Chains A and B, each alone.
Chain A
């Protein structure tokens, strides 16, 4: 009987590669120089959506009671994963492959973020609960991590959902920014959605009034 663990040792050769100089050389402008055009197009669309959604958050913050921007568990009876699930369901469609951004930090996931990204446990919960939307749900730290061969704006049957931090409105509802990218005419778009608990389940009940939206 072949011992696979033993045989796998053959993979490792004696040579040691030092790529660190190569890594540091390409790091400062890595996205600019190495990301394929298709991904840069996505990044442009994402940036536009993010800018709009960022405005929505700014507008939403005026004249309202203080919102909870930092907690992974916004209130005792609202687990963040429940609110995120409702946000995803507000924009995503049944699809073959669904990418979900783990950062809840709009506009820029790479910046210092007031909320932690989706935890492994939250990701597992979402993957389990959202099976009806897709058989293949994958989590990515940011849109730039989607492989070029699986770009949602280039291939049918692929969607990318990215969200903001659920905001407690202090009246029993939450608002969450939610966006979906996919090929043209797939229903791409997003905005800020109202979440209400209905029959014990957090559900989107429509777009938040007075907040920007985008989409085709």
Chain B
């Protein structure tokens, strides 16, 4: 028996007001692209509105869906890029941190952003990314080592 109160539009707006900016910046760090970050946030919350009553916990749901949308768009663009040389979408924010993040794999970047920026624990990241805790741990370890090296090299 469903005992929890169904999610309603007001809950979703409240979640957006509380999490929207943080989610956007996490997606920006993950994708390196403001357009992808903005679209993923908007689309995830729009989908939440479209199926509100079926969602039990709105915040993890939108994080999960938005990261998957961003991941799909990154893969889509990587397939198109060699053919069309897309250059017109907004460039990543030009800092050494973003440059270093861009040199990680997609999964490494997702785990490092979700852990060190968004504050999620390994179990939570595993749920968000649809993988296992151990896999997240491996990605996080490798990402941490590589990112520290990249940032230390940059800092001199």
Query: Which residues of A are interface residues toward B (Cβ below 8 A)?
Result: 1-2, 4-5, 7-8, 10-13, 16-20, 22-24, 26-28, 30-31, 34, 70-71, 103, 105, 109-117, 120, 123, 127, 136-142, 144-145, 147-150
Contact = CB atoms under 8 A, between A and B. Distances in A.
A11 B45 contact: no
B13 A20 contact: yes
Interface string B37-64: 0100111011101110111100001000
B95 interface: yes
A142 B69 CA distance: 14
B3 to A, nearest CB: 8
B155 A11 contact: no
A147 B68 contact: yes
A30 B46 contact: yes
A112 B6 contact: yes
Given A7-B97, A148-B76, A149-B72, A70 B54 contact: no
A11 B117 contact: yes
Contacts of B136: none
B120 interface: no
Contact of A127 (B26, B47, B132): B132
A164 to B, nearest CB: 15
22 contacts: A2-B147, A7-B97, A8-B117, A13-B93, A19-B41, A20-B45, A22-B42, A23-B42, A26-B46, A27-B45, A28-B50, A31-B50, A71-B1, A109-B51, A110-B51, A111-B54, A114-B1, A136-B130, A138-B130, A141-B61, A147-B71, A147-B72
B26 A11 contact: yes
Interface of B is mostly: helix
Contact of A138 (B25, B26, B131): B131
Contact of A17 (B38, B117, B151): B38
A117 B98 CA distance: 38
Given A30-B46, A145-B65, 6 more contacts: A2-B151, A8-B97, A23-B42, A105-B54, A139-B130, A148-B76
Interface string B1-43: 1100010000001001100111011101100000000100111
Contacts of B16: 19-20, 23
B152 A30 contact: no
Contacts of A116: 1-2, 56
Given A16-B21, A147-B69, A11 B6 contact: no
A50 to B, nearest CB: 15
Given A19-B45, A138-B130, A4 B72 contact: no
A24 B65 CA distance: 17
Given A12-B25, A148-B72, A141 B55 contact: yes
Contact of A110 (B13, B28, B45, B54): B54
Contact of A120 (B1, B117, B127): B127
